[in-house]
Structure formats: C-alpha cells, structure tokens
Structure 1
C-alpha cells in the first residue's frame, strides 16, 4: 500500500476504517480541550464508556440485595466470573473450560508454578528470555530459591545476538536442547514488553516438550493484541493481565489458561481453596476438596466482582468486533505509524531506529539516537502520551479499538516540531 503523510490521506483512512465508530466507545484524557494521542494501551487501556453501567449494576445490587446478590442479582455474583470464560477462550485460542479469571497476573503465575514447576535434583532449570519483565524475573528467582536452588544456576536466559535487537527462534530452540533433560520449565513472555517482538510460541512449545519440559507463557502484552492458539499449540499453562489491550482497569483481574489434559484431576499438585471445589457440593462444606472439572479448580476465593465487572464490559466489545478485525486494523495502523516515522526521519535528517521486528503486535519501539528524554517530555507536554524506557526508547502502541490514523499524522507533525525546535 502506498501511504501518504498528509492530513487528508489520514482522514481518508479513518473514513474507510470499519472500526472507526468504536473510538467513541472510550473515554480519552484531554489536553487543551482535545483528546490526547494515546500510545500507552500496552500499559493501561482506555476506559470503555460502557464500563460504568456494569459497575453501577453491581453497586445497585449490593445496595438493594446485600448478600442475596450472590444468587438473586441479574448476574449472580457466585458464578459471575464464568461469563468471561467463553469470550476469553476466543481471544486466547482455548476451550472455555481451559480458561478462568482470578487474582492478578504475578499471583497467578506463582500459583501455576505450584502445578507446573516440579523440580528435582536432575531436572530443575527454567529457561526465559534475556531481561524478561522484572516481575517475571523476580517470580522465577523466588520460585527456584523456594525449592532450594541457586537462581544463578537454575534460571537460564536466552540472549539476543550481538548487535541485534531481537531474539532468533533457532537460538531459543538450540538453548532448550542444550539444557535438555535438566530443563523443567520454559517460561517466556509471549510478546516482549521492551521491543514488541512476538515469539514463535508454537515452535518453542514443541521444542520444550521434546526435551520433557513444561511450557508456560506470560501473555501480558499478547492477550487481546495478537493471534493466540494456546490449545492448538498444546501450551501447558499461561496467564495474562486484563488492563492493557483488554481495557479492564488498573491492576485488574488476571486470566489463566490450563490445558485440558490437566483438568478434572485430583493427583495434580496445586494450592486449593473453597471456590475451586465443585459447585454442586461447595455449600455442603465437606472436608475433602473436589476440584471443578475446569480451570476454575485453580481458584482460591470467590471472584472480586467489582474488578471482574469492567473486564466483562470490555469483553463485550471484543465479542462485537472479533480478533480478526482488530488484528487487521492493528496491522494497518502500525504500518502507517512506521511509514510516518520513516518520513519524519528523512525530513529532519535524524536517526530513528525501530527496534521492533516484523513479528510484532500493536507496538513500535523506537530508539531515538541523538534525541533523548527531552523529546519525550516535549511530546507529553503537547498532548501525546507515549511510554519511555531507558536508555533511550519510546514505545508507541496504537491500539486499534480507539486510535485513529489522524492521530498518527498529528503525532508525526509534533515529533518533527520537537526535533526541529532542538528540545534535546
């Protein structure tokens, strides 16, 4: 496609966009009376306007029914979370029974490690990517220490090649086979938060299983962003947050995937709680744990309804639009943003380096050679909200639900202005 760096062309793309009406479904912060150009849906998605209705409904039921809301509300609280399983299963490529919503992301990863990281003296190592998101690093280090191992020996990282900004799948597979029968778990972020790279989850999962390891994925930046086929790829487990591309609100509830081969089993180790026992016998208060025959067996407590309600509101939008339509727009708007960046780079004779490879989702990470933090600050002061990562990278994530092509054009003009005014 032959793009053009003009306002008229950007507006033409918006007119042709089948998802253009969904921009009005979200609340935008404002700068000088105008909506900001929002590039941080990869950190916190904007609030859907329909969220308020879902929250108000719960508050009204609590007000008018109190404890009876658990069973008599229009959406009874005791099984409220079950309404999220089917739409989430479509997003992550799973069967509904393989999906549950509970807790928050790192809490869930720790709980899943109880079941899927079972080290012994020979097979105890965990493989992850170099400089994984800090929360994953801390989680993995604390898990191996908990089991009596030294993280320096037990946590194996796959590095990028010298002078490259991305990981090569063949290097990951080679490292898996190198560690071999000492490898207990492959645990990687499905989409890297820093450079925006999508990992070949199918190939890596197959490689992990070939050497007898479990394979799990942190999908914080992937869920609601890229095509996922967790069941088809035979992934053992995965977890994701809901507040980035799925717009459920700050720090909100996490989703989990547990492969069906581990469901309806009493022999699998896990931490257990009342809400994971069968609904049919839950209120009989039996002393024996009887696991629900779905991923809900990993739940410990009843769902925090005021957290889950915004998630359900957002999933309604995903049901209406569908991941294929979102991905189609994502590809086009990211490509247009890349074109804008390259055009501005030529016009100002600067030196931008896009470090995000072609295997990407809704993010471009841009290394600003010779510019620095003042340029980021200039953008923020002029109604653009990107994300800064040391040492000199701006992350730009044009979420397809609510970002427009006109946003991309205006961003380019502000970027050009900031450079020409020598804000660095």
Structure 2
C-alpha cells in the first residue's frame, strides 16, 4: 500500500490505538457506559462533523472537492440520533463539549490550508469501518435498538466498498511533500481531538453536566443559552415563527439556516433582561453579522418581535422586563424606515409582487428585504450586494426574474439614501 492513505495510516496508528484504549471505549465494550456519556459523544461528534463538513463543502481547493462529496456527509445521521427518545435532548457533559469545540476550532484554522481538511475527513470516515459493531454497543448504552441508530454503520454492507472508493480518491490526489505532511498532521490532530473528547466524557463529574447551545445548533460555538428548558422552548417557538415569515431564508439557507435561527433565538432571549445600552450594543453586532451575510435587519427586527410576543404570552408578568428589548426593536424599525418608509415598500411590493410570483411562484419578500438592505448599507457596507447578488443570480433564477430584481433595485435607489451611487 502506498500513497496518502498509507501516509495517514502510518502517522495515526499509535494515537488511534491509544484512543481505542480510553476508559470511554472500555466501558462501552463492557456495557457500563452511562447513557449521558454516550449521548454527549454523539453531540460532540455533531459539532465536529458540522464544522468539518461545512469547511469541506465550501473549500475552493480542487483536491478537496475531488475527494469530498455530499454523499459522505454524516451530520444528518447524528442529528437524527440525537432526537431519539432515549437520548438526553439538551444536557451534556460540558468538558466533552468544550473538547469538541476545541477540535472544531482547529479544523477552522486548518481550513485555510485546503488539503489539510482531508486528514480530518480520513479519520472520521475511517471510524465507520467499525460502525456496525459500534451500532450494537451504543444501542445498549443509550437504551435503544440498533435499528434506531443512524450514524454508526450508516453505510451498512456497503461500508467496505465505500471505504475503498474513498481511499482511492485520496491516493489520486497530487500533493507536495509539505502538503502531504500537513494532511498527516491533521489526521493526528483529529485523533488527538477525539481522545480529548472521550477522556472528558468518561469518567465524568455530575457537577459538570450542563445545557449547551450546541444541542440546538452544532455550529453555534459558545453562544449563551438559557438554563431553563422552558425558556429554550420559548426561544425555539419564536424562531420557527420568525423563519416562517420569510420564505427567502429556507430557500437560501435551508437546514443549516434553521439551526442558526434556533441558536440565535436562544441567544436573543438571554438579552431581554439586560439594560438598554447592553441590548443595543449586542443587537448592533448581530445586525452587522447577519446583514453582511445576506440577512437584512428586517428579518432580525421581526425575530425580536416574535420573541417578545412569545415571552409575554408565556409569562405575562414579564411585560415590564421586555421594555428595553422592545425599545431596541423600535430603534431598528425607525432606522430602516428613515431610508425607505413602509408605505413606499408596500407600494413597490404591489407593483412588483404579482410579477415576481408569476415568474417564480413566490416573490420571496424580495421588495421588503431589498429595501431593508438599502438601510443596512449605510452602516454595513456590502449588505445590499450580499442579498441582491443572490436574488439576481441567473444560475438560480430565470432571466425575467433577475431583470425584475434589477428594476426593483433601480426603483429603490430613487427613494433611498442607503445604496451608494
């Protein structure tokens, strides 16, 4: 055996054996691993897979795209397993989650060195070689049937063929000596990260069990999360309603966007009891982040209103507590309308909405979103292009639709000071 696979196998063999000998896996094989440790392992893996798979899917390195394809994605399986009745939905062993986040951070840092991502992928893809056995062992630990689990052994009887195909694509990649070394080092780093995770998960201290935002969104990092599950429920319900208001979000950002809406909603809820200045500062930061990624502040404004409505409906006694938060929402609205009044937006929507629906089956709320992006452009340069370029992309929409979007932009430029000439 020669090539990149051989280099990776040689580089990782010692640390691989060390991970398999960790107390976590000894207890797993003995049938004594606590359910929470097993569930926290799944949550930890979801963090690592979410970050790695996004980095792989968005890599501009042709050698990465030669190896990676959507069929290798494992995150959907992990998310399904984390919803099983026997799996603790929110609580996890905090040190293990922190170790997973540290590994995710390392992956993000390495993503700039394109081919290094292949080392992490090699380790995680290789773990499926023992997947069918792990499926049985984790089923016992979690108190579910093996058939219930999706992640372990997800390729079933096709595992060997898929592994051979995967390693063949690795060996077909052309790398310099330095790049090959980087990939091997990334493989070692992946095992080191997994070792840190399992050592933190078992044995564990009950006092280190906590609710972590990665239970809501594996890519949420270190966001603050309400400690009370009922509060998390409030945030999630508000997030669902806020998202349903704008079909654009589903069309553009899909499942990953749904997860970020959920974690953002949980974080927004933690701002409600704070002072006005603190809330305003945090919302200004989030507005900048979202607007620069093609999510105009109108969407944030609506999300915040849905959150207030949900909080006040669930706990009417908190009306006074939401006052500062509502004031910040009103500030957002006033800032937006100072550029393009709602009446003007309504007029433009009436003018273009029917045409867009006829062309695309939905108008995606394009007029209101573009108008909001005009306002955002004053404080967040590039925010208009971040949404307009997507709405007018001929690869996603037909030429007549794109022409209509450009007409809307022209109409808005005549009534708004937000878009530079």
Q: Do both share a fold (TM > 0.5)?
A: no
Alignment TM-score, normalising by the size of structure 1: 0.25
Structure with greater Cα Rg = 2
Larger helix fraction of residues: 2
Q: Which has the higher contact order (CA 8 A, sep 6+)?
A: 1
Alignment TM-score, normalising by the size of structure 2: 0.25
Larger strand fraction of residues: 1
